[in-house]
Amino acid sequence: MDLKTSVSLTRRRVFAGAGTVGALAAAATVLPLTKTAAPDTTTAATTAPDDKGGYQLTEHVLRYYQTARV
Q: Sorting pLDDT into bands at 50, 70 and 90, what band is 62?
A: very high
21: domain range?
3-68
Whether 40 has a pLDDT exceeding 70, the answer reads no
The Cα–Cα gap between 38 and 44 comes to: 14
Q: How many domains does the chain have?
A: 1
Choose among 60, 63, 70: nearest CA to 32.
Answer: 70
pTM of the model: 0.36
Residue with more model confidence, 51 or 6: 51
Nearest to 67 by CA among 35, 40, 43: 35
Q: Give start and end residues of each alpha helix (H) in 31-70.
A: 42-45, 59-68
